[in-house]
């Protein structure tokens, strides 16, 4: 009986774990749709820390989809007028708790062949509460997804005011 109880609890806890979803990290609010510049960009993402919680590829895909959604640029690496580099420089999240707070800093660089046009580190903070998910690992993921989305929204806000 004890083994069965442990087995059921294990399945419940592991079953409620899931990986991050790009759809939860990209922008999807009409507030972030702007007039097109008619320019193409390439996008790349790196990170300066080790974290098993997420994949850089997922962040990069969320950033690409957000840029395309905003209509500021078209993502076309073969004919890029500008290069956007996002470097995840800092991430902190407590290992446990009823509330999961996430601090995320990302340095964005936008440049053309000769000049750096934008170079700024943006910090976002988010939280996932016990009411968002019973499982701690799931709350951790929700909090991180929110921090990523908020950070990308901040970047889109910044570049939407620039002249390209």
Residue 48 has pLDDT above 70, yes or no: yes
Query: Residue 9 domain-assigned?
Result: no
Please name the residues in contact with 79: beta carbons below 8 A apart, sequence gap of 6 or more: 40
Question: What CATH number has the domain bearing residue 129?
Answer: 3.30.160.150
- Mean predicted lDDT score pLDDT of the chain: 85
- Beta pairing class for 82-92 and 39-47: parallel
Query: Residue 3 domain-assigned?
Result: no
Query: Residue 145 domain-assigned?
Result: yes
Query: Residue 100 domain-assigned?
Result: yes
Q: How confident is the model over 9-25, as pLDDT tens digits?
A: 443 444 444 576 787 78
Phi, then psi, of 143 in degrees rounded to 5? -65, -45
* Total tally of structural domains belonging to the chain: 1
Q: How confident is the model over 67-84, as pLDDT tens digits?
A: 999 999 999 999 999 999
Phi, then psi, of 64 in degrees rounded to 5? -60, -50
Query: Residue 33 domain-assigned?
Result: yes
Query: Residue 14 domain-assigned?
Result: no
Measure the CA–CA gap between 19 and 46, rounded to whole angstroms: 19
pTM summary value:
0.83
DSSP at 99: S
């Amino acid at each position: 009986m004890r083994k069965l109880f442990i087995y059921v609890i294990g399945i419940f806890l592991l079953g409620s774990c899931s990986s991050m979803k790009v759809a939860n990290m990209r922008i999807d609010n009409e507030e972030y749709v702007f007039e097109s510049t008619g320019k193409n960009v390439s996008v790349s993402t790196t990170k300066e820390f080790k974290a098993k919680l997420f994949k850089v590829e997922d962040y990069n895909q969320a950033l690409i989809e957000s840029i395309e959604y905003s209509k500021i640029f078209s993502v076309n690496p073969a004919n890029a007028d500008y290069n956007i580099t996002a470097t995840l420089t800092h991430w902190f999240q407590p290992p446990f708790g009823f509330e999961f707070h996430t601090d995320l800093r990302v340095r964005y660089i936008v440049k053309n062949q000769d000049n750096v046009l934008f170079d700024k580190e943006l910090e976002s903070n988010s939280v996932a509460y016990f009411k968002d998910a019973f499982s701690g690992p799931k709350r951790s993921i929700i909090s991180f997804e929110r921090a990523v989305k908020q950070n990308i929204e901040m970047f889109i806000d910044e570049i939407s005011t620039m002249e390209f």
